[in-house]
Amino acid sequence: MMPRDVVLLLLVLFGASSGCLQDAPSAYNLTGVVCRLTYPAVAVLNEKTTKVIEAAFQHARYPSMNGEKSLLFIGRVLYGLDNLEIHNLSIGRSAFELLPGEGIAMEISNVSAVFKGTIQYGYGSWLVSVAQSLDFEIESQIDLGINPKLYCGEGKVAADTSDCYLNFHKLHLHLQGDKEPNWLKKLFTDFITFTVKLVIKGQICKEINKVANILADFIQERAEHFLSDGNISVDVGVTTAPVITANYIESYHKGLTHYNNTTAVISDSGFHPSQLTEHRMLYFRLSDHMLNPMLTAAHQDGRFQLNVSGDELANAFQSNLSSSTPEFITQCLADPSSSELRVWSSSVPRLNTTSAGSTVWAQASAELRCGTEGTPTLSFQTDVVVDVTVSYSEKKLFMQGDVRQISLIRAELPLNDQLLQDEKQQEFIREAVKKVGVPKVLSGEKRF
Ligand SMILES: *[C@@H]1O[C@H](CO)[C@@H](O)[C@H](O)[C@H]1NC(C)=O
Ligand SMILES: *[C@@H]1O[C@H](CO)[C@@H](O)[C@H](O)[C@H]1NC(C)=O
Ligand SMILES: *[C@@H]1O[C@H](CO)[C@@H](O)[C@H](O)[C@H]1NC(C)=O
Ligand SMILES: *[C@@H]1O[C@H](CO)[C@@H](O)[C@H](O)[C@H]1NC(C)=O
Ligand SMILES: *[C@@H]1O[C@H](CO)[C@@H](O)[C@H](O)[C@H]1NC(C)=O
Ligand SMILES: *[C@@H]1O[C@H](CO)[C@@H](O)[C@H](O)[C@H]1NC(C)=O
Ligand SMILES: *[C@@H]1O[C@H](CO)[C@@H](O)[C@H](O)[C@H]1NC(C)=O
Ligand SMILES: *[C@@H]1O[C@H](CO)[C@@H](O)[C@H](O)[C@H]1NC(C)=O
Ligand SMILES: *[C@@H]1O[C@H](CO)[C@@H](O)[C@H](O)[C@H]1NC(C)=O
């Protein structure tokens, strides 16, 4: 089962956080990450709800039950129910509805299941110590309804699934052997029917709550784990209760980067639900206020580094650049076994998103070494402004960049102790950064 696919969990959207605000509008400015699931996405996820229901039935522990009855002519009858197990569970249909401002109404109909167990009994004056036992089987058909309410308390958003009901369409008892006197059978039938209904209802509704909460904690951990790496971590605790409209469920998260004992602060993210539409199935909005501290941490942690050497470096320069390759570079690449290019971010990159897309300002430094270990042959620093489009498909993040602006701040030939002043060679470097460097950096693994 893939818990992240489970609609029940959407209700329990990510726990653990302090300062859960009751007033959504004032929480928006503290929100770095927003997740909006529209109705069609919830519908897809709802198909997985059956898995949760199955788990709830299978994992429920049914306690032993005892009863006692005094009957005319027979006297006291004692009986008990043990080892209740469930078999052959099948789920007919599940449907849901988003109730604006309230919660989600879920209806799981036609759950058919066979319960098996043992009944022990003793009666008459000689009984009790001479208890007899009898295996039984109950065929049942049940409709299950859950109306989870979302609440925000103790800094957590959770679902209260106590509004849970079971309707039994069918409950047939089969006693093994079936050779008991009729009055006893009748007594067992009444007792078992009543008890089983009570036990099943109590245990299964309880189990649904438990399974949902375990999986919700799991999702919270996964989300945090997904966004965290090494010493960089992200607090995805909620800022306010999820909002439910007829068309979507939306959750609000802090998105605070934590690195080197410093935690980012987001106080004016300027988010408003009207910024998102309802056309797509899933929106995952990471605000610049969340991404910029993450970029800062990644920069400080030395994540923006790229070393290219050997054939990979030689191949990178095979692409068609209109400026002619300076002689010293051609020579350097002629021996791929000993050439290496190192690139790193030399100032904190900055990102700004507008309705037109995202723009990144970055300063990159590079050194090209040819054969010699120590002193680089070429060393330069550039400022680049890149318009970035990010797309997501097949579980991968794709980034494309158009270099909007590039300037060479400094270029030297340290081996010769000279500045690189040749205008054509400078143009080659700018073109190489634009056509080779930026695409190479953006095509790298999307993980930091
Ligand atoms: C469960 O289903 C299988 C196959 O349909 C059947 O052989 C078996 O008897 C069923 N078990 C119970 C307890 O009804
Ligand atoms: C419930 O399931 C049984 C068998 O699993 C089927 O015969 C019946 O038509 C179903 N009823 C509904 C309302 O889906
Ligand atoms: C995390 O930081 C500590 C102390 O700065 C350092 O020793 C450790 O190597 C870092 N761990 C990772 C995975 O970067
Ligand atoms: C971590 O923070 C301390 C000061 O709080 C600073 O001196 C140190 O350079 C920082 N380390 C990194 C890797 O940013
Ligand atoms: C963070 O602070 C704690 C306690 O102040 C200290 O023990 C720890 O070494 C610090 N970690 C880093 C990475 O600076
Ligand atoms: C959110 O922050 C913006 C910019 O600082 C401010 O103009 C706006 O009033 C804030 N909204 C709320 C509800 O606090
Ligand atoms: C690149 O090479 C330098 C020098 O060998 C090394 O310090 C650095 O860690 C390397 N970076 C990466 C990302 O491999
Ligand atoms: C370079 O240009 C030539 C012809 O102009 C073309 O055939 C070739 O595919 C191009 N190579 C690359 C890597 O773009
Ligand atoms: C981002 O762009 C907007 C619109 O061009 C501008 O008003 C804002 O100041 C920019 N923010 C940063 C951090 O550059």
| DSSP reduced 3-state for 427 | helix
pLDDT of residue 118: 86
Q: Which of 18, 3, 63 has its CA nearest to residue 213?
A: 3
Task: Answer positive or negative: Cα dihedral of 346, 348, 349, 350.
Answer: negative
CA of 321 to the centre of ligand 8 (A): 10
- Please state the φ and ψ torsions of residue 4, each to the nearest 5 degrees: -70, -10
What H or E segment, with its residue span, contains residue 42? helix 39-46
Contact in structure between 340 and 316 (CB atoms under 8 Å): no
**In the numeric block, which tokens belong to residue 143?**
């409709």
Q: Which residue matches tokens 């784990």?
A: 225
Identify the residue whose C-alpha is closest to ligand 8 atom 2: 320
- R_g (Cα) of the chain, nearest Å: 33
CA distance 133 to 121: 6
pLDDT of residue 7: 35
Q: Which residue matches tokens 């570079």?
A: 329
- For 151-193, give the secondary structure using H, E and C: EEECCEEEEECCCEEEEEEEEEEEECCCCCCHHHHHHHHHHHH
User: Which amino acid, 297?
Assistant: A
Task: Give the domains, in start order, of the chain with CATH numbers.
Answer: 3-225 (3.15.10.10), 233-443 (3.15.20.10)
Q: Which residue matches tokens 């503290």?
A: 30
Q: Which of 160, 153, 41 has its CA nearest to residue 102?
A: 160
pLDDT of residue 359: 93
Indicate if ligand 5 lies below 6 Å from the C-beta of 261. Answer: yes
pLDDT per residue as tens digits for the range 28-45? 999 998 888 888 877 776
CA of 281 to the centre of ligand 9 (A): 29
Kindly list the distances between the CA atom of residue 215 and the CA atoms of 3, 81, 96, in Å, as whole numbers in the listed order. Answer: 6, 31, 19
pLDDT of residue 405: 93
CA distance 413 to 429: 13
What H or E segment, with its residue span, contains residue 222? helix 182-227
CA of 136 to the centre of ligand 1 (A): 14
pLDDT of residue 131: 63
Indicate if ligand 1 lies below 6 Å from the C-beta of 88. Answer: yes
Which ligand is closest to the CA of 21, given by its number? 6
Mean pLDDT for each consecutive 10-residue tract of the chain (448 residues)? 33 42 83 86 73 77 77 73 85 85 84 87 59 83 83 60 84 73 74 79 78 63 75 87 87 90 92 86 84 90 87 79 85 84 92 86 92 85 90 65 92 90 90 85 57
pLDDT of residue 372: 64
CA of 91 to the centre of ligand 2 (A): 9
**In the numeric block, which tokens belong to residue 60?**
């429920």
Q: Which of 296, 269, 264 has its CA nearest to residue 361?
A: 296
Q: Which residues contact 272 (CB under 8 A, 6 or more apart)?
A: 28
Indicate if ligand 5 lies below 6 Å from the C-beta of 260. Answer: yes
CA of 262 to the centre of ligand 4 (A): 9
Ligand 9 residue neighbourhood (C-beta within 6 Å): 352, 354
Q: Which of ligand 1's atoms lies nearest the C-alpha of 87?
A: 13
Q: Which of 66, 187, 168, 61 has its CA nearest to residue 113?
A: 168
Contact in structure between 115 and 142 (CB atoms under 8 Å): no
pLDDT of residue 384: 94
**Average pLDDT value over all residues in the chain:** 79
Contact in structure between 44 and 255 (CB atoms under 8 Å): no
Q: Which residue matches tokens 């990510």?
A: 14
